[in-house]
A = this chain, B = another copy of it.
Amino acid sequence: MSGDEIASDAPGPAGAKPGPALDELACTIEALLFLAPDPLTPQELADAAAVEQDRVSDALLLLAQRHAPGASGIHLRELAGGYTFATGPESEDAAKRLFSRPRAATLTPAQAETLAIVAYLQPVSRPEITRIRGVSADSAASTLLERGLIEESGRSQFGAVMYRTTSQFLKLFGLNAIDELPDVAQWDPTPEEEAQLRERLLRAGEARAGGGPAPASE
């Protein structure tokens, strides 16, 4: 993908929609969203603009149209429990050239697994993560901490540091709240699959108890 594409078929402004005009309050809210480093809730916006919250909702509707993909390069997003501006994939190539770095590193499987455990079980301790994964999660957890996707949240009764996900995590994963993640039980096997698995394990256990050589199955 390159700028050529942009150059070759630039549609005249004639075709695009300008979106609605903004009233004074919408302009103020637009300014606040531009200035704030983190998403702002309607309540925070109402307090700052010194108006009622339902007037903020109206202004946000106007801004949503003005800042829709196609109408603007700056999009209004509802993320991490509030509203924020972000740019979209259509300007990513230009942004990459300007800042000469990709947006963010990808996640390794170990990091994604550790993040999933923290996201669903938070607060959860490092030893617990290790127990679930079967392999140590230390380096993955350190990287997630560095990247601001998880953070400490106190200690367990045994003194181990506990972790939770951050609002940065919600922002980067396009979520408004942690409960938007689907129920983890949806990935469980069907009862038939589970029964089969149980039976196989049972047979292996009996073979072992019967004194045969240990089957090397993990």
Residues of A at the B interface (CB closer than 8 Å) are: 1-8, 10-32, 34-36, 40, 44, 47-52, 55, 58, 60-62, 64-79, 85, 87-88, 90-91, 93-95, 97-99, 101, 108-110, 125-128, 130-131, 133-136, 139, 142, 145, 151-156, 158-161, 174-176, 180, 204, 208, 215-218
Contact = CB atoms under 8 A, between A and B. Distances in A.
B18 A69 contact: no
A27 to B, nearest CB: 4
B77 A3 contact: yes
Nearest to A205: B159
A45 to B, nearest CB: 8
A94 B49 contact: yes
Contact of A85 (B34, B40, B145): B34
Contacts of A159: 134, 204, 208
